[in-house]
Amino acid sequence: MGAKAVLAPPQPPPAPTAPPPPRPRRRRSLVHARDGRWAVVFLGPQMVGLVAFVLGPMVFALYLSLTEWGGSGPITFVGLDNFRDMFRDHAFWSSMQNTVWLTVLVVPGQLVSGLLVALALHQTRLKTLFRVIYFMPVVTSSVAVSTIWIWLLNGTFGPVNGILREWFGLNPPDWMGEPRYLVISIALVTVWQGLGFFMVVFLAGLQGIPTAYLEAAEVDGASSFRRFWHVTLPLLSPTLFFLTVMSLIGAFQIFDTVYMMTPQNSYLGDSTRTVVFRIYDLAFARYQFGASAANAVVLFVVLLVLTAGQMLLQRRWVHYEE
Amino acid sequence: MAATRPRAGRVTRSVAVNTLLAVGALVMLVPFVWMVLSSLKGFSEVFAYPPKWLPHPAQWGNYVEAWQAVPFGRAYFNSVYLALVIVAMQLLTCAMAAYAFARLRFRGNNVLFLLFLATMMVPGQLTIIPVFLIMSKIGLYDSHWSIILPHGLFSAFGVFLLRQFIRGIPVELEDAALIDGAGRWRVFWSIVMPLLRAPLAALGVFTFVSQWNNFYGPLILLSSPEKFTVPVLIAQFKGEYITNLPLLMAAASLAVVPVLIIFVVAQRHIINGMTLTGAGK
């Protein structure tokens, strides 16, 4: 608060002719006089990054999507051909379907598991211990995580099936050896790895809920389920909304686990080749940059529509406290 | 009786909650434990039936073999170096831009800031194709700069996070310094930056972890094995040694265990950093 003293306006040099202008105004202009020039200095580096690595590439990608190009030689402008071919291509629709199915598995998985663990953590004294353990996979490289799980889920030698067989007497499927189970495995690994992040964000949301509301509900005799459903959940809805958007955008762009867990050139990829994988494959394995860019543009549009949809829907179910 | 029943209920409930959490914790931990145990087994031991949990005797040689099979030391250095340089660049440039958006009055301030925010919607898969082509054109393909520059010079999220914090700092202190004749840079560097220590640390942790684990960029932009980062090296290693489970797990342990040790030591700061950035968004 010593700052207040320093803030005392500087005594303007005695100006015999004109009376000094009103003080606040003068201070403003003094402080902000060279802001325009300073803005160039302060924003410079990030503006270079914005133009060179985001806006420029975006425009370039839009242009590429209208061309046919193998990475060298002349670029041929083909109009909307890439998009026409793409929408007629079975591989595109299959990649879309795979992406949607993976998303359908991952998003509820992440939200429900994160919320359940957060609710449990909120009630335990061993919070620090459990928080560390659940968070460990989040800081681990997804490439290493996939490598571990490829073997954990191995149908014959993997310990997961070993346990399911020996302890539970089940007859588990070959998780890594059949297309429809492989995509479930990828979803499982994604949820396992992301759980810690969803947990801590939910926990932060839970800790922000004023206990007064819950106590009031308890005094009124509400059961713990009703307290959760009618008090906790609505007050948690901004967090839930944020995480839903994050999870949805993230699930649509899962790459590392798909790349690592799908054997190359195998029929197993029929269920796991997602849009993102196809974008990578077209550009960097087949050098069809135009077609790859067209797929990326479609991904961008789908993500925009999904997020806009979420924003519109949030009015129906997200409660922001006044 | 009436007084003890709720208490008994509470104890039961607490035991149930902790038991469930412990079971979940096992699910999180066992894969790592299994990784380390398998990395110490002999080749025939991992496929033994009935399976054995503990290696006997421990084959520490697997680690030597994995370390020598591919340039692991180099990859470690590359990963740490890339992550640190990107963190340093991002903290400085994001703080500068955030200061401009929070404090400077110039035409287009709000529009430009909205543009920064809007870029968060652009998927990396769309921009990486042109970035790859640009980098090839200017001779930076297969150079670490192709990864440093895009991440070090741009982070809409970093700018957004720091701007929010700067707006929460009372402006009087800065105004006083400005009136005393200090330049904007001095105000930024000696008044604002020290006050940003907490959010800068959070952003630093967040950026370090995501760069350390970054796979997509280095996979596309690097081609020489001596330039690889740890994730790319592991992916390559997996391609060559997929059937050699002990060696594969030794490589995975080399990538994972040091990170987990650092994480457990600094867990409070790392989790707080990641939560802050997550929830602050």
Q: Where along chain B do its domains lie?
A: 4-63, 70-241
The CATH number that domain A90-317 falls under is: 1.10.3720.10
B54 near A CB under 8 A: no
Interface subset of B 85-124, CB within 8 angstroms of A: 92-94, 96-97, 99-101, 104-107, 109, 112, 115-116, 119, 121-124
In the numeric block, the tokens 């020290």 are attached to B194
Counting as low any pLDDT under 70, the low residues of chain A are 1-30, 321-322
Count of CB pairs separated by less than 8 Å, A with B: 297
In angstroms, the CA B195 to CA B174 distance is: 12
Region B203-207 average pLDDT: 88
More confident residue, A170 or B88: B88
Are A204 and A121 in contact by the 8 Å Cβ rule? The answer is no
**Are A140 and B259 an interchain contact pair (Cβ–Cβ within 8 Å)?**
yes
Answer whether the bond into residue B199 is a cis peptide, omega within 30°.
no
Residues 6 or more apart whose CB falls under 8 angstroms from that of B254 comprise: B63, B66, B67, B72
In angstroms, the CA B13 to CA A115 distance is: 18
Interface subset of A 83-112, CB within 8 angstroms of B: none
Are A39 and B140 in contact by the 8 Å Cβ rule? The answer is no
Q: Which residues in chain A have Cβ-Cβ distances shorter than 8 Å to B86?
A: none
What are the backbone dihedrals phi and psi of residue B244, each rounded to the nearest 5 degrees, phi first? -90, 80
**Are B153 and A52 an interchain contact pair (Cβ–Cβ within 8 Å)?**
yes
Q: Binning pLDDT at 50, 70 and 90, where does residue B156 land?
A: very high
pTM of the model: 0.87
For chain B, what is the mean pLDDT?
Answer: 88
Question: What pLDDT score does B6 carry?
Answer: 57
Our CA angle for A184, B121, B202, nearest 5°, is: 85
**Are A27 and B32 an interchain contact pair (Cβ–Cβ within 8 Å)?**
no
CA-based end-to-end distance of chain A: 31
In angstroms, the CA B225 to CA B217 distance is: 15
Q: How far is A143 from chain B (nearest CA, A)?
A: 6
Residue A21 per-residue DSSP state: P
- What three-state secondary structure class fits B105? coil
The CATH number of domain B70-241 is 2.40.160.50: no
Region B216-245 average pLDDT: 92
Domain residues of chain A, as ranges?
90-317
Sign of CA dihedral A171, A106, A269, B79: negative
Question: What pLDDT score does B277 carry?
Answer: 58
**Are B127 and A38 an interchain contact pair (Cβ–Cβ within 8 Å)?**
no
Q: Which residues in chain A have Cβ-Cβ distances shorter than 8 Å to B101?
A: 43
Question: What pLDDT score does B54 carry?
Answer: 82
Q: Is the predicted pLDDT of residue B111 greater than 80, yes or no?
A: yes
In angstroms, the CA A125 to CA B83 distance is: 35
HSE (side-chain half, CA atoms, 13 Å) at A235: 17
Pairing of strands A67-68, A76-77: antiparallel
**Are A124 and B212 an interchain contact pair (Cβ–Cβ within 8 Å)?**
no
What are the backbone dihedrals phi and psi of residue A213, each rounded to the nearest 5 degrees, phi first? -60, -45
